[in-house]
Structures are given as C-alpha cells and as structure tokens.
Amino acid sequence: MLALIAPGQGAQTPGMLEPWLSDPSAKELLAQWSAQIDLDLLRLGTTADADEIKDTANAQPLIVAAGLLGARALGSAKIAIVAGHSVGEITAAAIAGVIDEVDAMKLVRTRGSEMAKAAALAPAGMSAVLGGDREVVLRAIADLGLVAANDNGAGQIVAAGDLDALAKLAPEGARVRALAVAGAFHTSYMQPAVEPLREIAAKISVRSSNCPVISNKDGAVLQDGREILDRIVAQISNPVRWDLCMTTLSRHISGAVEVPPAGTLVGLLKRAVPIIETFALKSAEDVTLAKEFIVRHQDEVM
C-alpha cells in the first residue's frame, strides 16, 4: 500500500518550480493561484533567491504549491494514506480532497503571513538537535524552558524558544545546529497567529477525506474533514510529532512518495522505518519513475 507525504518549511530551494513549468497547464495554474492569493508564485519559484524564499510568508505558499503540482502530475494513483509535516499538512489535506486547491492556497497564504507576524513580536528561534539519547535531549530542552517543537524521529529533535536559551543548549552526546528561521514555530510564540487562521478556516468548505490523513498532533488516522482542518489550525502553536506519524505509516504502507520539494521526509523514513520503500519526487523528470513505483506499491497489503 502507498502513502503520499508532503514536506514542511525548510525544504524549499531556489528555482524549485522551474522543472514543472514545461507543462503549460501547470504554469497557468500557478498564475491563477498567484492572482488568487496576491503572491507571485511563478517568480518566487523560479528567480527568487534563497533569502527571499526563506521568508515564512513566501516559503509556505511556495511549498504547498510545489506539492500540489507534484501530486497532480502523478494522476489518479490509488493512495492508501497521506501525511504532511507542519505546513505539509495543508498539502496533504488538499491531496485527500478535504479542501480544494484554491482554498489550500488561501489557507497557507494566511498561515505564512500570520506566522511571520507572530515571529516578529518577540526574538526567538529554533535549533536542530541531532543524535544523543532521546530522554537526555528532551530533558535538556525542558530544563532551559525550551520546547521540542518538532520531534522528527530518527535521532532528530528541533528545539524552539528564547535565543539565549537556545545558545546554551548542549545535550551530552548530541550536536546542535541553529536553524535559519525567524521564530519559534509550533510553540506558544505562534499563538497570535491561531485566531486569524481559525477565522479563514471556518469559511472554507470541507469534505470527508478520500483516504485517511495522519495528524501531526499524535499520529492519529483521521477522515472527518472539519477535525482535520481544526487540527491543522491548532498545530501552528503546538509541537509536530512526526515520529508518531512515521510509526503510523509503518503500520499501513509498503511504499511512500514524497511530493515536491522532496527529500527531507524520505530521509527520515529511511533512517527510522527502513522497511518502507521511498521515492522522492523532485522534478517533472521523475514522474515516470514515480508512477512505476506507485504501481508496485498501490495494491500491496501490509
């Protein structure tokens, strides 16, 4: 059985939409989305530099747009389950038919803008903690008043909070790497962004999902559209438990395709659940091989 998984912020790279624009329909779709959310996705995805697309308000819509283009290119594959990391949950919800693509783009536009505003209210940041004993790492994070904002499994936990506290973080046996983000995402620092996102989400039509959706909150498998969307809203100020999402995936699938901008999540899966075969859909040139991969897995039974 097969999963589609969608990456989160940090996966973006300059020019990442360029390979998809050889398809005129994809270019037209991006132009339509750009007009509907008042953001030039075509320029951001082709000629903008790394600093510009690192901006939360730009990065999040760009990542969701790339994921939706990749999923469209795969056609009507038989998908057993979907999951997304952080903002990738919006991509996953659209792939599963919970919300339509236009509403997904409107939602992520608000999410990115409001999270950028929240980040500007107080100096805070995030650091990846790599390796070390899990309990030792979690204790070191908590002792400094920080939050394990992304528990990514495979020996990777992202701490978030006060910059001075992050500078002191040094769990025994682990490496700490500061991330180039301007805020403490998935912590209480993002609480000011919740209500504006909830307001727009309340106006969006939702449907029961075409396939199960895994929640970042706890790895739960959901199909009720309103619950899925409510959880997506609440998640911006709460930790992402991707480790639990991978545990759930391990119970349901034999293969996973990561939609663009792909690479990060398949890397985590390879380390945490090597029994799952993975495919990173990085460009339009990969579509044929991705479809062959899908055919091998879509009817397998775990």
Active site residues: 86, 186
Q: Which of 230, 185, 184, 186 is nearest to 204 (CA)?
A: 230
Please give the Cα distance from 300 to 228 (Å, whole number): 27
Residue 264 near residue 179, CB atoms below 8 Å = no
In this structure, the dihedral spanned by the alpha carbons of residues 210, 215, 220 and 226, taken in order and rounded to 10 degrees, is: -60
Secondary structure class of 134 (helix, strand, coil): helix
Phi, psi dihedrals of residue 12, rounded to the nearest 5°:
-70, 145
Query: What is the C-alpha to C-alpha distance for residues 143 and 261, in angstroms, rounded to an integer?
Result: 35
d(Cα 209, Cα 222) in Å, to the nearest integer?
Answer: 8
Enumerate residues 6+ apart whose C-beta is below 8 A from 5: 82, 83, 84, 85, 88, 92, 249, 256, 257, 258, 259, 265, 266, 269
Q: What are the counts of helices (DSSP H) followed by strands (DSSP E) for the chain?
A: 13, 10
Contact 7, 82 (CB under 8 A): no
Phi and psi at residue 190, in whole multiples of 5°? -90, 5
State how far the Cα of 23 lies from the Cα of 169, in Å rounded to an integer.
47
| Cα gap 31→158, rounded to integer Å | 35
